[in-house]
Chain A
Amino acid sequence: MIELIQFKRLFIITLMVIATCPATAQWIGYPTSDVPRLADGSVNMEAPTPRMANGMPDLSGIWISDNTRPGEPTPSDGFSLSSSRLMTNMGADMPDGLPYQDWLIPIVKEHTDNLAINDPHIRCIPDNFLRAYGLPHMLKFVHTPDLLVVMNEMNAGYRQVFLDARALPDDPAPSFQGYSSASWSGDTLVIETIGVRNDTWIDWNGSVLTEQAKVREEMRRLDYGHLEIKVTVDDPAAYTKPWSVTLKQRLVVDAELIDEICLENERFVEHMNLPY
């Protein structure tokens, strides 16, 4: 009986797909070049890692979260957006959760209990890069030998990672993405970031980074279609000890960014009668 219900559900959705397929717009569906494919035409996500002329892994591409929920499809097309199961709680896979300092515990509890109605994301504040890895918005990596630029279609945001291993600033003016410098360790790009703003939300529960945060990302393109980012956060102002989480990204092909400028017509705060 359950199978019958599931089949009916899928059948209805299939009909909806048929109804929506004919329309195309802008560069949606524009074919990505040099995509390795299997015999059945699907993207060979396990094909070898693309490399730059200098032999290093090429991180370029459009990426979406691959920290999926059990059983969730992981398409590589540009028509669907997935979000991370860690989007709500960055410490969801940690047995004891994130090691919050005492002052942060009641704040996270309040945000969790009230379903994050005070989330700065809702008020159109830019998302920090850690959070962006998990939200259902496409990220476009543009990789040159000296610079990695990450473009976020949400609020048309950007992040720069300098690949010349430059020294991080001594007294940085805090910014939403901080200051990022990187170098290669074998095929792993090691990115060090400091200088983010206080109260930078990294998940829906209101876990934060502070100005004291040092964030290390060990970024590896495992194959053609998968990016793995081991993140280590050392932020003694917010956490009792450093913690690590592995964030995964999946390549999407035949896709392009489409701006989502939040300030245009955000109505959540108005509809909920909340203060700005």
Chain B
Amino acid sequence: MTPAKFKILFALALLLETSLVLAHHSFPAQYDINQQITLSGTVTEVQWTNPHIFIHIDVKDEESGETRNWILELGGPNALLRLGWKRDSLKPDDLVIVEGSLARNGSALVNATSITMAETGRTMLAGSSRE
């Protein structure tokens, strides 16, 4: 990689750091940034809606064999479009790996930080709010 290209990528990385500061509501009221979770599951529903996008995924507990449907909260469509998403970037039956913060109320709700497509390994930032 040439120094110029590295500079550009480095700058873009910094820009995306800023992109994480998206906000519609007070993040700490709903989510606990100290409770990070990784989920692997199958997309069952995509709500490409304002002000935030919601993705539902089925996650199977390997020990109990039970499947639980989790709700992932992402940034809004305008934020995700600016991050490079398309409205059909995720579809039902897609296998995904999700990083995010758990809801404080113990429900199956996560504020997603990133979503990785299991098939391709492509990781997409989720426009997570931290404020």
Interface positions of A (Cβ within 8 A of B): 10, 13-26, 28, 72-73, 75, 77-83, 87-88, 114-117, 119, 121-122, 124, 135-136, 153, 204, 258-262, 264-268, 271-272
The answer to whether B123 touches A153 (Cβ under 8 A) is no
Find A114's partner among B29, B49, B78, B125 (CB 8 Å cutoff): B29
Find A20's partner among B52, B83, B105 (CB 8 Å cutoff): B83
Find B13's partner among A17, A204, A258 (CB 8 Å cutoff): A17
The answer to whether A265 touches B84 (Cβ under 8 A) is no
The answer to whether B78 touches A19 (Cβ under 8 A) is no
Q: Which of A17, A26, A272 has the most CB of B within 10 A?
A: A17
What mask results when residues 67 to 105 of chain B are scored 1 for a CB within 8 Å of chain A, else 0?
000000100111101111110010000000000000101
The answer to whether B82 touches A78 (Cβ under 8 A) is yes
* Interface segment, one of B16-24, B37-45, B55-63: B16-24
- Tell me the bound Cα distance from A24 to B10 in angstroms: 20
Chain B contributes a number of interface residues (CB within 8 A of A) equal to 48
Interface positions of B (Cβ within 8 A of A): 9-19, 21-26, 28-30, 47, 49-52, 54, 73, 76-79, 81-86, 89, 103, 105, 107, 109, 114, 122-125, 131
Given A20-B83, A72-B18, A119-B26, A262 and B51 contact (CB-CB distance below 8 Å): yes
Find A10's partner among B10, B82, B89 (CB 8 Å cutoff): B10
Given A83-B23, A261-B50, A265-B52, A75 and B84 contact (CB-CB distance below 8 Å): no
The answer to whether B25 touches A17 (Cβ under 8 A) is no
Q: Is the interface of A mostly helix, strand, loop or mixed?
A: loop
Residues of A within 8 A of B21 (CB): 81-83, 136
Q: Is the interface of B mostly helix, strand, loop or mixed?
A: mixed
Residues of A within 8 A of B54 (CB): 265, 267
Residue pairs across A and B with Cβ atoms less than 8 A apart, 22 shown, are A16-B123, A17-B16, A22-B84, A25-B81, A73-B18, A75-B15, A79-B15, A80-B19, A81-B19, A81-B79, A83-B23, A87-B131, A115-B28, A116-B26, A121-B24, A121-B25, A204-B26, A260-B78, A265-B52, A268-B25, A272-B29, A272-B105
The answer to whether B9 touches A260 (Cβ under 8 A) is no
The answer to whether B123 touches A79 (Cβ under 8 A) is no
Within the complex, what minimum Cβ distance (angstroms) separates A14 from chain B?
4
- B27's nearest neighbour on chain A, judged by CB, is A115
The answer to whether A262 touches B50 (Cβ under 8 A) is yes
Within the complex, what minimum Cβ distance (angstroms) separates B10 from chain A?
7
- Tell me the bound Cα distance from A262 to B49 in angstroms: 9
Within the complex, what minimum Cβ distance (angstroms) separates A205 from chain B?
11
- B14's nearest neighbour on chain A, judged by CB, is A73
The answer to whether A20 touches B124 (Cβ under 8 A) is yes
